[in-house]
Copies of this chain bind each other. A is one copy, B any other.
Amino acid sequence: MYFDSHIHTDGLGFSELKKLNDAGVTKVCSPSFYPVRPNYPQTMIDVFRKLTEFEVDRCKLAGIEMYPAVGIHPRCIPPNFELVLEYLESRDWIAFGEIGLEDLTETEMDVLERQLRIAMEKDIPCVIHTPRKNKRDATKATLRILEKINFPEDLAVIDHTNFDNLDLVIKSGYWIGLTVQPGKLSVNEVVRIVRENGVERFMLNSDAGYKDMQFTSVPDAARELEKAIGIEGRKIYYENASKFFRV
């Protein structure tokens, strides 16, 4: 049984969800994303409704328990985003995500900080994206915001961590998301990271969706991990995510 801590189920078809389940994935967190920057804040509210109402049921039909994460991705910040923040503040959620920084603009930092403050106030775990470009600078800026507001260590996972920013995230004390996907991490790199740093603070994910062929990369990596480090691997492909998302 595997837990993919970050996969965009709304970018996957039904036969893919079934294959994911056939490969042993029983739990996933599916964070909010919209593939074009919305022209309207209202769109994000309906994106959250689609994810929490329709998409949870669709995953269940394929045998997968899906935990939706809602929030404004830095590439999805609409005009008048305050409306979205008010909506996020007004309800209960399992998790926020993916939130974070992409181009390190003032607006992105403002939107991230305000979502983090809501999460703190409401005790909501946050999936925090780090970008492909400027990963190190973006991670530093993200950690500065987290530290500025004294964000609790157990309430954030810094995701898509790789060798560009691993030292910073390890120093920080937050959870660490490892994404196995072409262009992100290979299975061998994950094995190396875990061998050097232990399994306690890591969780594995595929970030698959929309344009990705390798949506079963968590079970694929998990098998290799077990060969390399034994049953301890279960922490990073199941237990840590269960603990973080409290499910």
> Which A residues lie at the B interface, using CB under 8 A?
11-16, 18, 34-36, 38-40, 42-43, 45-47, 49-50, 53-55, 58, 61, 209-213, 215
Interface contact A18-B211, CB-CB below 8 Å: no
CB closest chain-B residue, reference A16: B13
- Chain B residues contacting A38 (CB-CB under 8 Å) are 46
- 30 of the cross-chain contacts (CB-CB < 8 Å) are A11-B14, A12-B13, A13-B13, A13-B15, A13-B16, A13-B210, A14-B210, A14-B213, A15-B213, A34-B46, A34-B50, A35-B50, A35-B54, A35-B58, A36-B46, A36-B49, A36-B50, A36-B53, A36-B54, A39-B45, A40-B40, A40-B42, A40-B43, A40-B45, A40-B46, A42-B42, A42-B43, A43-B47, A58-B210, A61-B211
Query: Please, how many angstroms separate the alpha-carbon atoms of A13 and B216 in the complex?
Result: 13
- Copies assembled: 2
Q: Are B34 and A39 in contact (CB under 8 A)?
A: no
Cα A61 to Cα B213 in complex, Å, equals 12
Query: Sorted from nearest, which 4 A-B pairs have the closest CB atoms?
Result: A40-B42, A13-B13, A43-B46, A13-B16
| Chain B residue with the shortest CB-CB distance to A213 | B15
Tell whether, in the assembled complex, residue A39 and residue B46 are in contact, meaning their CB atoms are under 8 Å apart. Answer: yes
